[in-house]
């Protein structure tokens, strides 16, 4: 199946710093990618839809200035957590799909810990 790669898998940062997470579709082009946040033992919460060449669409309650999304190419979307605080600590996962099949493929996830 299609491959989506996410980096870094783990990151620890100090409060107030910014962290960038990359999501790449390795063997297909993705005009749309999705970013999720997952708390322990909970479901995937869609944060935003990343659109290549245009602004991301954020879900209600997600601060767009806090979670900056850039989708500059058909194979790369980035999520930047700005001025991170301990409450931003979470597991962040991206996904991308093959539009003509509807199938969705997930990145490995990035565990962010803010000290």
Partner 1 sequence: GENVEQHPSTLSVQEGDSAVIKCTYSDSASNYFPWYKQELGKRPQLIIDIRSNVGEKKDQRIAVTLNKTAKHFSLHITETQPEDSAVYFCAASIGNTGNQFYFGTGTSLTVIP
Q: State the residues that interact with partner 1 by CB under 8 A.
A: 1, 6, 32, 34, 41-44, 46, 49, 91, 93, 95-99, 102-109, 111
Q: Which residue has the tokens 């060449």?
A: 53
What is the closest distance, in whole angstroms, from the C-beta atom of residue 1 to partner 1 in the complex?
7
Residues 40, 62, 98, 55, CA torsion sign: negative
Q: Which is nearer to partner 1, 66 or 106 (CB)?
A: 106
> How far apart (Å, rounded) are the C-alpha atoms in residues 112 and 107?
15
What is the closest distance, in whole angstroms, from the C-beta atom of residue 52 to partner 1 in the complex?
13
Q: Which is nearer to partner 1, 74 or 82 (CB)?
A: 74
Cβ–Cβ contacts within 10 Å for residue 108, how many?
Answer: 14
What is the closest distance, in whole angstroms, from the C-beta atom of residue 63 to partner 1 in the complex?
20
Q: Which is nearer to partner 1, 13 or 46 (CB)?
A: 46
8 Å CB contact between 55 and 35:
no
């Amino acid at each position: 199946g299609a491959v989506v790669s996410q980096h870094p898998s783990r990151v620890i940062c100090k409060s107030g710093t910014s962290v960038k997470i990359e999501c790449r579709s390795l063997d297909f082009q993705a005009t749309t990618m999705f970013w999720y946040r997952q708390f322990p033992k909970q479901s995937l919460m869609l944060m935003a839809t990343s659109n290549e060449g245009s602004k991301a669409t954020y879900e209600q309650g997600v601060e767009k200035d806090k979670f900056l999304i850039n989708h500059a190419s058909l194979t790369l979307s980035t999520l930047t957590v700005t001025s991170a605080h301990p409450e931003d600590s979470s597991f962040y996962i991206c996904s991308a799909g093959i539009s003509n099949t509807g199938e969705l493929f997930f990145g490995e996830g990035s565990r962010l810990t803010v000290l």
